Amino acid sequence: MHLHSIRLILCRLLLAMLPGTLAACRAPIKSDDYNDPVATFVCRFIRDHKSLKMGIIFTCEQKLLLIYSVLSQLAAGGIPARTVNIDQRYNESPDRFSSALRNSLEFHQFVLLDMACQNAPAVLEQASQYELFNASFHWLIIDKNYNGTDGSSGLRSESDPSMDSPLGCGSGAGAVMSVGERRRCTGANTDASATGDTVELFATMNVSMNAEITVAQPADAAYREFTLYDLWSGGRLQVDRLGRYSPTEGLVVGWHETTVVRRRNMDGLKLKIMTVVTQRPHQPFERYLTTPRDTHLDSVHRYNYGLMSILKDFYNFTFVNRRTKSWGYLRNGTFDGMIGALSRREVDLGGSPMFFRQERHRVVSYTTRTFIERPCFIFRHPPRKDAVKNPFLLPFQIIVWYLMVVWGLILVVVLSLSFYFQDSATDDGFPSTVPIPAQSCNIVSEISAAWRTMCRRKTPASGGLVRASTATLHTPSETPDRYVPPEYPDRRQRVRAGAAPGTNNCHNKDVPANTSSPTHPFYLAGGSGGAKCNYKAEKVSKSILLFLGGVCQQGLSEIPHLSSGRCTSFFILLFGYLMFQYYSASIVGSLLMEQPKSIKTLRSLIDSRLTLGIEDIPYSRDYFVRTTDADSLELYRTRIAYYDAHTGRNESHFLPAVDGLRLVRDGGYAFHVAISAAYRIIRQTFGERDICELSEIDMFPVSSQWMVAIVQKNSPYRDVITYGLRRLNEAGLMQRQRHVWQEPKPKCVRQIAPDDLIVGLDAVVSAFVLLAGGLALSISMLIGEILYRRVAQRCHRQRNEVRQPRWMEQFYVEQPGLPGLGFRGHEDATKAKA
């Protein structure tokens, strides 16, 4: 900026020191009649119409006062400008004119050129050579042609009735004229020299579609009024009437639309477009791109090409199709594929969208987002092993189980106390509402207390065990004739006498617990230490069983006699009913609900037992080269790529989309694939159950999933394509294209089937483990009881051999009236044995 200021000051000093050059000026008019009106017109055009903040002015000796006036008015408006002298003697290098422009391509600025300068055509030729007629430079060219005194101009007729409106050569606003039409319309000079027609000069130059070239044609000999024309090329040079300027009316511009809107008609301009195709089409290339068949193949590329085809009709241009297999990646410092063709200017447009990459930005230009490609891992989520390890504990929280145990203990204690007071009341003579179940020994009253005790405690010396339920004990001194069996006239007397068959002696203090008669094997074996029903241990165990039966909805095996015990039993049943409803409903609901999913992140996917695969597509391989994500690099190193010393690198984990999704359907496989291709394959090949089990995990960042359309670097069609794509998005055509080429995500619409309610072994294995544990505990206790019984029997026999006289012998006989009852003497017994 300091250099520019110095140059501006020097130029102003030069203009102030050269007043004598006015005499040598070749202009046929006075300075006041030319410089001030032209300078005012230039300043208004730059400041009011273009709204530019900086620019370049090409000067020559013939226009020093004009340049001085322009600089003065621009400086007053705060618009700096740089001057470049284009006289021949100052031209030290052949590219000096264009270098001043090429050094400031990144700024939008105006360029002022008066065609009256001798080297003005050379400036235009250099600008055409380096493609400087683009949107970066807004050219204002003051044409010197004014033919005759009748007001006829080289670009239009003064008598044209369309002068009052921004029309040219009798055409309406926005009329587009070719060079030939301009010749017939204006009759301008066709000499492409400094003295020839400016339009004819531009007809041979490289003018782009987005060129901002305004030619100011003087409308009178005094250079006070100008007619403005817009020049651009849509395959051929187009000249549009832009407006006019006069000191009285000021600057009148008939166009209010943007440049892109004004230039929609490209007259069938042929543009080369390259599209990426990863699959081999079995039909003509253009038909393959436009026919919505097998939309899962190259769906993104065909979708974007469809958008470009709509723009083709919108702007009236045509395509020259080319194809490639790669978007474009750096190979030995250069890009291949579509980006390489764009960087070498072999094609004009990219038919396929691409991900934004910083290294690509240096060689291509981005337009706007057209698609969001979402590659992700798709897999059937395996059932959670930890979720079914013990499903019987899942319905309740741990605090609920603790509360159930605590209140269960309290209820067991209350029941035990109730049974204790119940038995105490029975022993004290209070009537019982429940008959006492008893099956006692039918021992006659004549037997002495010693023999009665022996009946309960002793075992026959011979060790014989015969019909304990129907046997009657006799002594050798008694004869059968003296024994009279007791008569029981009714059942009440039998019960009172304790002779009711089929009952137990639980409440008989003289009979061990859990035995049915005094001749029970354990009783005969000397098991006199067994706990009786009124023992505390017996009451506690019975209370525990009652509580468990009530909670488990099995009912009560015995109803307490006391009101307190019955009240406790009632609330146990009520509590068990309520808890059982929640418990069973929770377990059944777990079968109907969706299984919980534990694989939700890339880290958990790496740690899982699933086999991983990736779609064989270029951007997937390129991602692992560029990414710095630790999880992604570990996934590629440990689960995707591995090295075989014999065969080299094995890349079998890179598969086509169809093959990878087939493995996903079989289960135990996670495949990284673009959803634009995956969803259609899933809908066609997966079952309803398979679709409902699918899960997705993203590996690419969300910001890297956007895909944009691309053109050449600094392409004149960038704004054209950007505007067109945004119009398609506003009109809904872009969304319609998505519905055509992108399959929506398949929904889980599967109804509950009988197979869903089948419970597998993994869900109930804990119940079998509990049963096996209980069985093992029971067997171990049974073995302990058997060992204890044998030891007790051996000890008892040893004590009997010491205490019992040898002459005393017990034996059992059958009586006709009462089987198994009766006495015989020792002699009769001896005879019977004989």
238 backbone dihedrals φ, ψ, rounded to 5°: -120, 135
How far apart are the C-alpha atoms of 208 and 255, rounded to whole Å?
20
Q: Residue 327: how many CB atoms within 10 A of its CB?
A: 27
Q: How far is CA 95 from CA 86, 99, 129, 548, 790, in A?
A: 11, 6, 10, 103, 122
Cα-Cα-Cα-Cα torsion 55, 61, 65, 71, nearest 10 degrees, comes to 20
Same domain, 249 and 177: yes
Q: Which among 86, 37, 41 is positioned nearest to 61, based on CA atoms?
A: 86
* Burial (CB count <10 Å: 0-12, 13-18, 19+), residue 305: buried
Q: What is the pLDDT of residue 653?
A: 86
The verdict on 584 and 629 lying in the same domain is: no
The residue segments making up the domain with residue 665 are: 608-693
**Upper half-sphere CA count for residue 794 (Cβ side, 13 Å):** 6
Asked if 339 and 405 sit in the same domain, the reply is no
Which of these, 140, 130, 82, 134, lies nearest to 108 by C-alpha position?
134
In whole angstroms, give the CA distance from residue 19 to residue 15.
Answer: 7
399: CB partners within 8 A, 6+ apart: none
Say yes or no: 307 and 407 in one domain: no
Q: What is the spatial distance between Cα 588 and Cα 581, in angstroms, rounded to a whole number?
A: 11
Of 35, 66, 51, the C-alpha closest to 251 is 51
**Shortest CA distance to 419 belongs to which of 574, 243, 538?**
538
Does residue 202 contact residue 189 with C-beta atoms inside 8 Å? no
HSE, side-chain direction, 13 A CA sphere, residue 541: 8
Out of 5-9, 176-180, 745-749, give the one with best mean pLDDT: 745-749
User: Same domain for 189 and 231?
Assistant: yes
- With 50 as the cut, is the pLDDT of residue 121 above it? yes
Residue 6 has a pLDDT of 61
Q: What does the pLDDT read at residue 5?
A: 60
- Asked if 69 and 59 count as a contact pair (C-beta separation under 8 A), the reply is no
Top mean pLDDT of 54-58, 499-503, 528-532 is at 54-58
User: Is 578 in a helix, a strand, or coil?
Assistant: helix
Q: Which of 228, 262, 296 is the last residue of a domain?
A: 262
Give the pLDDT score at 338. 94
Does any domain span residue 164?
yes
Residues 411 and 370 in one domain: no
Which stretches of 652-720 are assigned E, i.e. beta strand? 654-655, 669-674, 694-698, 706-712
Residue 632 predicted with pLDDT over 60: yes
Query: Which value, in Å, is the radius of gyration of the alpha carbons in the chain?
Result: 55
Q: What is the pLDDT of residue 774?
A: 87
Distances (CA, A) of 301 to 247, 366, 728: 55, 16, 17
284 Cβ neighbours under 8 A, 6+ residues apart? none
Instruction: Classify residue 344: in a domain, yes or no.
Output: yes
Predicted pLDDT at 832: 46
Q: Any idea what the CATH number is for the domain that residue 716 is in?
A: 3.40.190.10
Last residue of some domain: 657, 672, 693?
693
Lowest mean pLDDT among 39-43, 144-148, 704-708, 735-739: 144-148
The verdict on residue 227 lying in a domain is yes
**CA 360 to CA 30: how far, in whole Å?**
56
pTM check: above 0.85 = no
**Spatial separation of the C-alpha atoms in residues 214 and 212, rounded to whole Å:** 7
Q: Is the pLDDT of residue 733 over 90?
A: yes
- 460-487 per-position pLDDT tens digit: 443 443 333 344 444 444 444 444 445 4
Is residue 765 in a domain? no
pLDDT tens per residue, range 1-28: 455 566 666 555 555 444 444 433 444 4
pLDDT score, position 701: 86
Specify if 214 maps to a domain: yes
> Distance from first CA to last CA of the chain, Å, rounded?
146
Q: What is the domain count for the chain?
A: 4
The CA distance from 494 to 505, in Å, is: 14
User: Directed axis angle between helix 2-17 and helix 64-76, to 10°?
Assistant: 130
Comparing CA positions, the residue from 331, 319, 195, 324 lying closest to residue 269 is: 319
Q: Look at residue 732 in the predicted model and tell me its pLDDT.
A: 94
Closest among 82, 833, 100, 814 to 485, alpha carbons compared = 814
Pairing of strands 269-276, 250-253: unpaired
Residue 357 lies in a domain: yes
- Look up the CATH number of the domain holding residue 203: 3.40.50.2300
Rounded Cα–Cα distance for residues 616 and 495 (Å): 91
Q: What is the pLDDT of residue 212?
A: 92
Looking at the structure, tell me whether residues 224 and 344 fall in a common domain: no
Q: Is-contact 281 332, C-beta < 8 A?
A: no
Please state whether beta strands 250-253 and 237-246 pair in parallel, antiparallel, or not at all (unpaired): antiparallel
Residue length, the chain?
A: 834
Contact 389, 764 (CB under 8 A): no
Question: CA 383, CA 392: separation in Å to the nearest integer?
Answer: 17
Q: Mean pLDDT over all residues of the chain?
A: 75
The band of 162, judged by pLDDT with boundaries at 50, 70 and 90, is: very low
Residue type, 158: E
Which of 41-50, 157-166, 348-357, 530-539 comes out lowest in average pLDDT? 157-166
Query: 264: which 2 tokens?
Result: 């929609």
Mean pLDDT (whole number) for 555-563: 79
In this prediction, residue 806 has a pLDDT band, given cuts at 50, 70 and 90, of low
Q: Answer whether residue 791 is part of any domain.
A: no
What number is the average pLDDT over the span 614-634?
89
Final residue before a domain boundary, out of 233, 262, 291: 262
In a domain, 800, yes or no: no
CA–CA dist 766, 483 (Å, integer): 62
Mean pLDDT of 592-619: 87
326 and 254, same structural domain? no
> Do 491 and 397 fall into the same domain?
yes
Confidence of residue 58 (pLDDT cuts 50, 70, 90): very high
- Of the pLDDT bands very low, low, confident and very high (cuts 50, 70, 90), residue 348 is very high
Give the β-pairing of 648-650 and 375-380: unpaired
Phi and psi of 173, rounded to 5°? -65, 135
For residues 499 and 523, membership in a common domain is answered with yes
Identify whether the C-beta of residue 116 lies closer than 8 Å to the C-beta of residue 141.
Answer: no
- Mean of the pLDDT values across residues 551-571? 81
Give tens-digit pLDDT for 238-278: 898 989 999 888 889 887 788 888 888 888 899 999 999 98
Residue 527 has pLDDT above 80, yes or no: no
User: Both 208 and 128 in a single domain?
Assistant: yes
Q: Can you give the pLDDT at residue 342?
A: 95
Extract the tokens encoding 812: 């059992």
Q: Is the pLDDT of residue 237 over 60?
A: yes
Claim to verify: residue 327 and residue 475 sit in the same structural domain: no
DSSP letters, 140-197, are EEE-----SSS---SSS-TT-GGGGTT-STT--TT--B-HHHHHHHH------STTS-
Please give the order of strands across the beta sheet that includes 611-615.
654-655, 611-615, 669-674, 375-380, 694-698
pLDDT at 392: 74
Q: What are phi and psi of 712, to 5 degrees?
A: -65, 160
Q: What pLDDT shows up at residue 91?
A: 52
